C-alpha cells in the first residue's frame, strides 16, 4: 500500500467519523428541538443547524461509500461481460466520475471564495455560509482522490490480467 493510499484511507476514516458525529448531532438537535417546541422553547436556528449538518453527513460519507461499493449501480448487463471488458467499463466510468467531481470540487472552492467576499451569512444564526461550502469542497477534493485511487487499482487489475 502506497503512502497516498494510507493517507486517503485515514482521511476517509476521519470523514466517516465526522459524518457519524454530524448525524448524531442532527438527531440530538431534532429531538431537543421537537421536545422544546412541545414546551414552547424550541432551539433557535435548529433548521439551519440540521441543514448544515446534513451537508457534512453527505459530504463525509462519499469517500467511504465509494470505496465500499455502496453507491447504486446497475449490473444486470455488465456482470455478463468478460472480466476485461468490465474493468475497461469501470475505468471509463470512474474516469468520467473523477472529471465530474474534480470540476465540482474546484467550482465549490471558487463559490466559497465568492461567498466569503460577498459576506454571505445564514438567515437566522448569521453564520458565514462559505465555511459550509468549503467543507463540501474539501470533501469533494478528497472524494476525487479516492476515485483516483480506485482508477489506479483498476489499471493495476487490467495490467495483471494482460500479463498472465
Each residue's pLDDT tens digit, 42-61: 999 999 999 999 999 999 98
Q: Give the residue-averaged pLDDT of 61-70.
A: 83
Task: Tell me the residue length of the chain.
Answer: 164
Q: What is the pLDDT of residue 3?
A: 84
- The pLDDT of residue 80 is 85
- CA separation for the pair 81, 98 (Å, rounded): 23
- pTM of the prediction? 0.83
Taking only the tens place, the pLDDT of each residue in 146-163 is 999 999 999 999 888 765
Give the residue carrying C-alpha cell 421536545.
Answer: 35
3-state secondary structure (DSSP) of residue 41: coil
Which range among 10-14, 45-49, 95-99, 137-141 shows the weakest confidence by mean pLDDT? 10-14
* Residue 116 exposed, middle or buried by CB count within 10 Å (0-12, 13-18, 19+): middle
Q: Decide which of 69 and 85 is more confident.
A: 85
Residue 61: half-sphere exposure toward Cβ, Cα within 13 Å: 14
Long-range Cβ contacts of 90-95 (<8 Å, 24+ apart): 90/154, 91/151, 91/154, 91/155, 91/158, 94/147, 94/150, 94/151, 94/154, 95/151
Q: What is the mean pLDDT of the chain?
A: 90
**Domains in the chain, number:** 1
Return the pLDDT at 162: 62
For residue 156, the enclosing domain spans 3-163
> Residue 99 above 60 pLDDT?
yes
Instruction: For residues 139 and 108, give the distance between their C-alpha atoms in angstroms, rounded to a whole number.
Output: 10
Amino acid at each position: 500500500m502506497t503512502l497516498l493510499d494510507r493517507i486517503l484511507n485515514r482521511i476517509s476514516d476521519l470523514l466517516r467519523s465526522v459524518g457519524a458525529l454530524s448525524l448524531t448531532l442532527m438527531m440530538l438537535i431534532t429531538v431537543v428541538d421537537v421536545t422544546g417546541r412541545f414546551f414552547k422553547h424550541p432551539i433557535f436556528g435548529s433548521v439551519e443547524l440540521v441543514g448544515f449538518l446534513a451537508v457534512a453527513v453527505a459530504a463525509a460519507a462519499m469517500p467511504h461509500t465509494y470505496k465500499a461499493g455502496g453507491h447504486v449501480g446497475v449490473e444486470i448487463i455488465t456482470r455478463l461481460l468478460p472480466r476485461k471488458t468490465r474493468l475497461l467499463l469501470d475505468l471509463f466510468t470512474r474516469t468520467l466520475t473523477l472529471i465530474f467531481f474534480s470540476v465540482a470540487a474546484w467550482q465549490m472552492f471558487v463559490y466559497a471564495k465568492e461567498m466569503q467576499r460577498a459576506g454571505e451569512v445564514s438567515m437566522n444564526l448569521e453564520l458565514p455560509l462559505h465555511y459550509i461550502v468549503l467543507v463540501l469542497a474539501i470533501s469533494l477534493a478528497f472524494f476525487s482522490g479516492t476515485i483516483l485511487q480506485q482508477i489506479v487499482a483498476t489499471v493495476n487489475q487490467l495490467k495483471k490480467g494482460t500479463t498472465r
